[in-house]
Copies of this chain bind each other. A is one copy, B any other.
Amino acid sequence: MKIRIGIAGYGNLGRGVESALRTSDDMELVAVFSRRNPADVKTRTGVPVYSMEQALEMKDQIDVMILCGGSANDLPEQTPALARHFNVIDSFDTHARIPEHFANVDAACKEGGKVGVISVGWDPGMFSLNRAYGQAVLPNGADYTFWGKGVSQGHSDAIRRIEGVQDARQYTIPVEDALERVRKGENPELTTREKHTRECFVVAKEGADRAAIEQAIVTMPNYFADYDTTVHFISQEELDRDHKGIPHGGMVFRCGTTGFEGENKHVIEYKLTLDSNPEFTSSVLVAYARAAYRLSQKGESGCKTVLDIAPALLHPEAPEALRAKLL
């Protein structure tokens, strides 16, 4: 019998999960739930769409619900609400609020005897795993996380809110020289400016003051002021043609020393190069949905994160096969 999956929220992430499930033979997509009018939502694979309110009626037909809403407004409410009735997976990524979200989901899961796995994706997610493994293996060392080259949705949105801007796309780019120093094991102290640059492609409205827009971008606190930022004005056609993808990625490093005199250096690098940020995140969500189902079958309940889940639980093959083939 296949693991029966529901998707709550049908945006980029929801479509990514729908697509990822097609390459997982042990899982099947049963239903999509949306806050929009179900009649207005057409899924790519033809799987039925229901309103979010109908989810509870289907709780016996779904083994794991994958939440595909946003961290700002959707998940803080939706994940605990659904965790009373379903095993749930989400990609909650507001790092500072993870302990609070964990507590809420944990309470809901325990009330319903369900398993919840929060903050699944690549950061938080695969990057978090690598920070944990790295620190555990090389306690005497330093961590580095770099992001990009990739599109930052938040920074793109911030540019779009500037007066005179019609559309924009922002790329976060790691500084090559900083990467090289880290890879050499120099353990440098790096400022924000030394780690990443920001490159912006902006479509100005007709007659807008481009110099003022550029000035507003490069001096914007939190988003751009602490970075070396480049602004390119291009046409809407160019933006649509050359910048419609959502690539991302980055690197987690752990650089440490061993030996009685700390004389031996070691560098661990975990690097992601992703054509589609939402589709990769979706793929991670689907793997952890398998783990949530298995944990639930073993009688576990409560909230977990990627740090609490053994790698073998993510993989479709049995432990014996993994030992023979992957170790």
Contacts and interface: CB of A to CB of B under 8 A. Distances in A.
A267 B273 contact: yes
Contact of A269 (B44, B269, B312, B324): B269
Given A282-B258, A307-B319, A324-B98, A126 B133 contact: yes
A269 B266 contact: no
Contacts of A306: 311, 327
Nearest to A280: B266
Interface string A69-101: 000000000000000000000000001001100
A137 B327 contact: no
B44 A323 contact: no
Nearest to A312: B307
Nearest to A246: B264
A225 interface: no
Nearest to A263: B275
A136 B320 CA distance: 16
A279 B258 contact: yes
Taking each of A137, A269, A284, which has the highest tally of chain B beta carbons within 10 Å of its own beta carbon? A137
Contacts of A104: none
Interface in A263-285: 263-276, 279-280, 282-284
Contact of A276 (B264, B275, B320): B264
A211 interface: no
Contacts of A280: 137, 258, 266
A277 to B, nearest CB: 10
A59 interface: no
14 contacts: A22-B260, A131-B326, A136-B314, A136-B315, A137-B287, A139-B316, A258-B275, A258-B276, A266-B274, A268-B270, A269-B272, A307-B319, A309-B310, A310-B310
**Which 5 pairs from chain A and chain B are nearest by CB?**
A136-B314, A264-B275, A264-B276, A258-B279, A307-B312
